[in-house]
Structure 1
């Protein structure tokens, strides 16, 4: 029976995969707020003081049910700025784990876990822990956000 449940879960996730989008809240991502050069380097080297694992419904749904959702980690830096680090298929060029300004998050996101990192980790550590490759079943947004919180 457990093999049947695994197969059913895999099939469900495969069918829902097109619903997972690269934006922070639904629809097409807005790349007008991308950082580059020194600004990006400063962000990646910034110490993380607080991290919150967050989930939101997939586009077209209104509920969060386990893996039938999208998750990421919102980090708070020393200057009080907050950034969402999340992973998805084709989210980035060099890595499928990306960082976006949390001001662009929709109100659908909900905190499911909090952690106090006291500046011991950087944004770059979170991105690296999230991983550069994406796999729907074995290295998706949920596994990445769990690893980020457990580092």
Structure 2
């Protein structure tokens, strides 16, 4: 006999499977738009993180955040006060599905759910590594990656 809890879990997983594509770049051709390269990119990855904010936003095409029916990432603030969003999704990157983008590209839909002061003890590269290079809707999604980033 199927319990209500099992049915609810199956419904949530089905919704994630249907809406997950829109939060991860969709089924079209990925847009790998690079703002930094070479020494600039190395400098960013080696930069110390002073503040980290775990954030959530609605999935593309929706107007609400409901637990896993959302997209999450971590916005980091560096010594120069620049802010960068580190998040993951299917087809987000080339060699890793955890990517770093300038926070100026974030929509106003993002909301802070947790803030931590890292006092420069971790680097952007540490956050990317904690996010993980692979993406799996069930086993290694944006929520799991952003929690690992905050718990390092």
Whether TM exceeds 0.5 here: the answer is yes
Q: How does 1:2-151 map to 2 (within 5 A)?
A: 2-22=5-25, 31=33, 34-151=35-152
TM-score scaled by structure 1? 0.91
Tell me, in whole angstroms, the C-alpha distance in 1 between the residues paired with 2:100 and 2:13.
27
SS at match of 2:41: helix
Verify the 8 A CA contact 2:32 2:93 in the aligned structure 1: no
Tell me, in whole angstroms, the C-alpha distance in 2 between the residues paired with 1:46 and 1:89.
26
Deviation, 1:91, is 0.2
RMSD of aligned Cα (Å): 1.6
Deviation, 1:6, is 2.5
Tell me, in whole angstroms, the C-alpha distance in 1 between the residues paired with 2:31 and 2:113.
24
SS at match of 1:106: coil
Tell me, in whole angstroms, the C-alpha distance in 1 between the residues paired with 2:127 and 2:91.
18
Report the structure number with the largest CA radius of gyration.
2
SS at match of 1:136: coil
TM-score scaled by structure 2? 0.90
* Structure 1 outlier segments of 4+, above 3 Å: none
Q: Which segments of 5 or more consecutive residues in structure 2 lack a partner in the other structure?
A: none
Deviations 1:48-75 (A, max 9, x none): 0000000111111111111111100000
Verify the 8 A CA contact 2:57 2:71 in the aligned structure 1: yes
Q: Which segments of 5 or more consecutive residues in structure 1 lack a partner in the other structure?
A: none
Moved more, 125-134 or 5-14: 5-14
